[in-house]
């Protein structure tokens, strides 16, 4: 197989032997694989793949055709169009994934769209629903709304019936965010003056969150799933937590167990699949690159001001 | 009635007209009333009583005899030995309390013990069980274990079947804490080296909690219900929250609605009443004072190194 390989902070595309599926796994012939901020961290040596995943082949999401099944998996899956998340190894022509984690593509989905779907939408759904307990009619602040997870979260929160406040760095892409269901589109400076919110989805880090902490409604839930340019060190006034009875939590999807991911996939898919099939969700594409240009794709991903996903196309 | 009255940071005991109960309230002839850290804050002008409670008569817990009932409350309550929490006004010879919030005393309970029971035990039970979700076999760190809430929390956590790690300032009172069910008794310096814990009950503040944040087990729950000498400003590493999937939350009991307090009282009493009746729970008394010496009692309460409650006795 052909695959991106990480060597001392640099990416190259090499030939490797294709991986074999475990008894409950399948092998996917990859057509497209998204890039995520975790990949950039991994390139810098800061975020190694979890045990059991390829250590030097990056990539946490992909879409393609089932090309092989493990001994305990039914052959009826062969040839199905699927996408899904993996602990690593997705930026390659072949990728092993747990059969329980497969998401079947709706007819209308293109490969590029599907390659950038799973990580962002599963992460956003788990963060908003399982962790944030976002309910219809509540107000949610989404910090870092223009990225892959952000654009997914805006759409999911809108379809949950929440009032969606999308925060971007400089006010860019506000029309596109409104088209996705954002009720308000603001910049960081505006956060200090918003009406209190029930849920904060923090994708940027401490610099953004420290402002949002002043705008929490009673029983607010703050969910941190990304600390990028905003930094990781947050100053929390414990009296404010006690007074609002707010909850601060966070997680990453990648480090979870196979069984935990199965629960995430099942819960998210039940909500997302009909919306994806009907065209009520979409994966905005910032730009696609050929797998051979993986280094350039990562460099592009690192630039600010994008809207939506960066996806590698595997011919 | 006679009551402690707060005037510009000073306490004196004055005669006032006794309060009248609302339709669903009762009037208690108070025999003993505990002092809590919130009272000290209130004396400094930092923590006003919630709306509907006497603004200048402090006291959040008391025990005594039901001496009058509201129009909707059955007269069978008259003369019953009770204790309970109020938003203020407990440090007086007569106090109005919601009839739904009454806790009936076991035969063995003395007035002094009962006067210091409600606030500490309800707060500790709500924090450990409702907020912290502490379960049998889990490890709980109780920071500030020698105070009223701390000694209650050690006993409750022990009876829940948890492994209890009690933290004190200087290693004082360790034998008494072990007798209450603490499995480990340590000082702040030792916290950095403990095995990870599932629940942290923080009664001291940021200085203590910043150490404990490094010792969180996966899915740990951190519950902040006091920021005293430890300060309120906590530096949180968001990557650590994401990696452990910990939750940080907090609350105060006093500010909750009447209905919310009813739920707290019901849940706590179901667990606590049999243990109190059988002598398996007790309220350690640091010292009691006559109501007339309320100022001296507050000053004593403010000293470090106490073990258990400070209670005012009303003759």
pLDDT digits (tens, 9 = 90+) for B215-236: 999 999 999 998 877 788 999 9
Query: B112 with B125, same domain?
Result: no
The answer to whether A249 contacts B250, with C-beta atoms less than 8 Å apart, is no
User: A126-166 pLDDT, tens per residue?
Assistant: 999 999 999 999 999 999 999 999 999 999 999 999 999 99
- Across the interface, do A242 and B235 touch by the CB < 8 Å criterion? no
B280 and B192 in one domain?
no
Q: Are residues A131 and A239 in the same domain?
A: yes
Quote the CA–CA distance of A58 and B173 in Å, as a whole number.
54
> How close B47 comes to chain A (CA, Å)?
11
Cα separations (Å) of B266 from B113, B123, B141, B259, B272? 20, 13, 25, 11, 10
Q: Are residues A135 and A174 in the same domain?
A: yes
B165 shares its domain with B53: no
Nearest to A281 by CA among A135, A118, A167: A118
Q: Tell me the pLDDT tens digit for each residue of A25-58.
A: 999 999 999 999 889 989 988 888 888 899 999 9
Mean pLDDT to the nearest integer, B254-264: 92
Written as one string, the DSSP assignment of chain A is -EEEEEETTEEEEEE-PPPPP-TTEEEEEEEEEEE-HHHHHHHTTSSPPPTTS-SS---SEEEEEEEEE-TTS-GGGTT-EEEEE-SS--SBSEEEEEGGG-EEPPTT--HHHHHTTHHHHHHHHIIIIIIT---TT-EEEEESTTSHHHHHHHHHHHHTTPEEEEEESSSTTHHHHHHTT-SEEEEHHHHTTSPPEEEEEESS-HHHHHHHGGGEEEEEEEEE---STT-SEEEEEHHHHHHHT-EEEE--STTS-HHHHHHHHHHHHHHHHHHHHTTSS---EEEEEEGGGHHHHHHHHTSSS--SEEEEE--
Strand bridging mode B10-15 / B2-7:
antiparallel
Give residues with Cβ within 8 angstroms of B51, minimum separation 6.
none
Q: Among residues B219, B250, B281, which one ends one of the domains?
A: B250
How many Å lie between the alpha carbon of A195 and the closest alpha carbon of chain B? 21
Say yes or no: B273 and B243 in one domain. Answer: no
User: Are residue A10 and residue A94 in the same domain, yes or no?
Assistant: yes
> Given an 8 Å threshold on Cβ–Cβ distance, is A248 in contact with B236?
yes
B89 and B62 share one domain: yes
* pLDDT confidence bin for A172, thresholds 50/70/90: confident
The CATH number of the domain where B6 resides is what?
A: 3.90.180.10
Tell whether the model's pLDDT for residue B49 goes beyond 90: no
CA A162 to chain centre: 20
Q: What ipTM goes with this model? A: 0.87
- Strand, coil or helix: what is B289? strand
Q: Give the tens place of pLDDT for each residue, B54-112.
A: 999 999 999 999 999 999 999 999 999 999 999 999 999 999 999 999 999 999 999 99
Using CA coordinates, name the residue in chain A closest to B225: A242
Reading the block at residue A127, the tokens are 């963060």
pLDDT of residue B295: 96
Q: Residue B7's beta-bridge partner residues?
A: B10
Question: Cα angle at B269 between B263 and B270, to 5 degrees?
Answer: 95
Query: Where among A197, A224, A250 does a domain terminate?
Result: A250
CA distance B245 to A260: 13
The share of chain A scoring above pLDDT 90, in percent, equals 84
String of DSSP letters for B185-223: EEEHHHHTTSPPEEEEEESS-HHHHHHHGGGEEEEEEEE
Of the pLDDT bands very low, low, confident and very high (cuts 50, 70, 90), residue A93 is: very high
Half-sphere exposure at residue B5, Cβ-oriented, CA atoms within 13 angstroms: 10
Among B206, B238, B242, select the one facing A238 at the smallest CB separation.
Answer: B206
Give the number of A-B residue pairs with CB atoms closer than 8 Å. 86
The span from the CA of B233 to the CA of A237, in Å, is 5
| Under 8 Å between Cβ of A83 and A105 | yes
CA B34/CA B40 separation, integer angstroms? 12
Q: Is the pLDDT of residue A305 over 90?
A: no
Name residue, tokens 């905003």.
A230
CA distance A180 to B153: 48
Best of A48, A144, A149, A241 to substitute, by most chain B Cβ atoms within 10 angstroms, is A241
Residue B230, pLDDT score = 77
pLDDT higher than threshold 90 for residue A181:
yes
A238·B247 Cβ contact <8 A:
no
Nearest to B102 by CA among B178, B22, B27: B27
How many structural domains does chain A have?
2
pLDDT band at residue B41, thresholds of 50, 70 and 90? confident
- For residues B8 and B86, state if they share a domain: yes
B141 and B223 belong to one structural domain: yes
Do both A165 and A228 map to the same domain? yes
Residue A200's region, left for phi above 0, alpha for psi from -120 to 50, else beta, is beta
Say what the pTM is.
0.91
Percent of all residues in chain B with a pLDDT value above 90, rounded to a whole number: 85
Closest CB from A206, A237, A247 relative to B233: A237
Q: Which residues of A touch B245 (CB under 8 A)?
A: 249-251
Instruction: Round to whole Å and give the CA distance between A225 and A248.
Output: 11
Helix or strand (DSSP H, E) at B307: none
Give the span between the Cα atoms of B12 and A220, in whole angstroms: 40
Picking from A192, A191, A196, the residue whose alpha carbon sits closest to that of residue A171 is A191
Residues of B in contact with A252 (CB under 8 A): 242-243
Chain A hits for B239, Cβ within 8 Å: 227, 232
Mutate to test the interface with B, among A41, A224, A250 (most CBs of B within 10 A): A250
Residue with tokens 């975790």: A38
Q: Does residue B7 sit in the same domain as residue B109?
A: yes
Give the one of B227, B238, B249 whose C-beta lies nearest to A234's C-beta. B238
pLDDT at B171 over 90: no
Average pLDDT score over residue span B9-19: 94
**Which of B221, B250, B279 represents a domain boundary (last residue)?**
B250
Boundaries of domain holding B105: 2-117+254-313
Smallest CA–CA separation between A115 and chain B, in Å?
25
pLDDT of residue B106: 97
d(CA B188, CA B192): 8
Is the pLDDT reported for residue A228 higher than 80?
Answer: no
**pLDDT at residue A229 is higher than 80:** no
pLDDT in tens, B107-154: 999 999 999 999 999 999 999 999 999 999 999 999 999 999 999 999
A246 with B245: Cβ contact below 8 A:
no
pLDDT tens, A241-299?
Answer: 999 999 999 988 888 899 999 999 999 999 999 999 999 999 999 999 999 999 999 99
Q: What is the pLDDT of residue A223?
A: 97
């Amino acid at each position: 197989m052909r695959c991106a390989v990480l060597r001392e902070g640099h990416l190259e595309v090499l030939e490797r032997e294709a991986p074999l599926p475990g008894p409950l796994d399948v092998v996917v012939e990859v057509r497209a694989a998204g890039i995520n901020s975790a990949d950039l961290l991994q390139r810098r040596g800061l975020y190694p793949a979890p045990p059991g995943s390829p250590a030097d082949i990056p990539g946490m999401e992909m879409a393609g055709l089932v090309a092989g099944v493990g001994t305990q998996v039914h052959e009826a899956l062969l040839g199905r169009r699927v996408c899904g998340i993996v602990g690593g190894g997705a930026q390659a022509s072949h990728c092993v994934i747990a059969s329980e984690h497969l998401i079947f593509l709706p007819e209308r989905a293109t490969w590029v769209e599907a390659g950038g779907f799973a990580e962002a939408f599963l992460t956003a759904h788990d963060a908003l629903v399982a962790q944030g307990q976002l309910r219809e009619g509540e107000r949610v602040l989404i910090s870092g709304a223009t990225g892959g997870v952000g654009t997914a979260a805006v759409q999911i929160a809108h379809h949950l019936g929440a009032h969606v406040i999308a925060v971007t760095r400089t006010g860019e892409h506000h029309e596109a965010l409104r088209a996705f269901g954002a009720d308000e589109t603001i910049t960081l400076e505006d956060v200090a003056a918003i009406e209190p919110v029930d849920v904060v989805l923090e994708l940027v880090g401490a610099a953004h969150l420290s402002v949002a902490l002043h705008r929490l409604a009673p029983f607010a839930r703050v969910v941190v799933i990304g600390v990028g340019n905003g930094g990781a060190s947050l100053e929390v006034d414990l009296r404010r937590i006690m007074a609002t009875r707010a909850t601060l939590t966070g997680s990453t999807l990648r480090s979870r167990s196979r069984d935990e991911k199965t629960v995430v996939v099942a819960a998210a898919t039940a909500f997302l699949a009909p919306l994806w099939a009907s065209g009520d969700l979409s994966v905005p594409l910032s730009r696609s690159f050929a797998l051979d240009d993986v280094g350039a794709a990562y460099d592009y991903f690192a630039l600010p001001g994008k809207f939506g996903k960066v996806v590698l196309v595997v011919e």
